Amino acid sequence: MHALTSTWRTRRAWGWLVAVAGLWALLLAVGPAHAEDAAIQWGQRLQATLELPAEALERFRKIQEKNAQLRPGTPLESETWRGNPMDLTAGGSPYTLVLKARAVAIADGDAGVRMQASWAFDGGTTELPMPGMAQKGVRAGQVVELVGVSAPMGLNANRQGVPVVEFTTAANLRLERVQIDVWSGQRASQPVEKVMSWMPMLFGVVALGFFLWLRRM
């Protein structure tokens, strides 16, 4: 009887442990998707919304066609768009650039855009690390909307900066529109991100308690 009770308790404990692990995995998988679908604020204030003019998009398309004809291993060329100077303040930092590309898929398959966001200051340009902009499994003729978010840039003093977008290529896409959102201030954590930040600790506490309980059996 004691052996049956012990086995039942062990199975129930394992059930709780698996449930916690499953919840953690669910948040990891679903959390980012919700974050992308929601209207995310990438700072405290939307400082400006800029849109690339038609002539810039045409230059981007031409360089895309040119790069597509290069031999494999040949360095790709790029085209750059520069906006108007903006007054940036130390108190408003950090500043985050959000690139939103709207395009049409050329064929079935994966698609992506290779662009780089930067700030130009007197004497140089500060490139901001940002992840790739891609989407898997698109269909020919499908409208694809990709978002790339730069790393926040802090300032120690007030400066005048120019937003810069450098375009290299688009894979399986024809660019139709590129928008740049300029956010100022530190982005607040989303509710899902706050929960996810506690999940590793919660999982560790539950696992530790479970194994200590097993040792006492």
The pLDDT tens digits of the residues spanning 140-194 come to: 999 999 999 999 999 999 999 999 999 999 999 999 999 999 999 997 754 443 4
Structure tokens at 60: 């981007």
Instruction: Note whether 148 and 210 are same-domain residues.
Output: no
The pLDDT tens digits of the residues spanning 10-29 come to: 555 555 555 555 555 544 44
Instruction: Note whether 110 and 199 are same-domain residues.
Output: no
Task: Considering only residues 115 and 40, tell me which one the structure prediction assigns the higher pLDDT.
Answer: 115
Instruction: Note whether 167 and 182 are same-domain residues.
Output: yes
What mean pLDDT, rounded, does the chain reach?
80
Q: Looking at the domain assignment, is residue 38 inside a domain?
A: no
Residue 138: give the domain boundaries.
43-188
Is omega for the bond preceding 94 within 30 degrees of 0, making it cis? yes
Instruction: Note whether 70 and 162 are same-domain residues.
Output: yes
Contacts of 115 (CB under 8 A, 6+ apart): 99, 101, 133, 148, 165, 166, 167, 168, 178
pLDDT of residue 47: 94
Instruction: Note whether 212 and 150 are same-domain residues.
Output: no
Is the pLDDT at 33 greater than 50? The verdict is no
Instruction: Note whether 114 and 180 are same-domain residues.
Output: yes
User: Count of domains in the chain?
Assistant: 2
Instruction: Note whether 198 and 166 are same-domain residues.
Output: no
Task: DSSP for 175-196, please give it.
Answer: EEEEEEEEEESPPPPPHHHHHH
This prediction has a pTM of 0.69
pLDDT of residue 174: 96
Instruction: Note whether 156 and 55 are same-domain residues.
Output: yes
One-letter identity of residue 177: R
Instruction: Note whether 82 and 14 are same-domain residues.
Output: no
Task: Considering only residues 193 and 210, tell me which one the structure prediction assigns the higher pLDDT.
Answer: 210
Instruction: Note whether 202 and 183 are same-domain residues.
Output: no
Q: Are 126 and 195 in contact (CB under 8 A)?
A: no
The pLDDT tens digits of the residues spanning 75-93 come to: 999 999 999 999 999 999 9
Q: How far apart are CA 85 and CA 88, in angstroms?
A: 9
Is the pLDDT at 35 greater than 70? The verdict is no
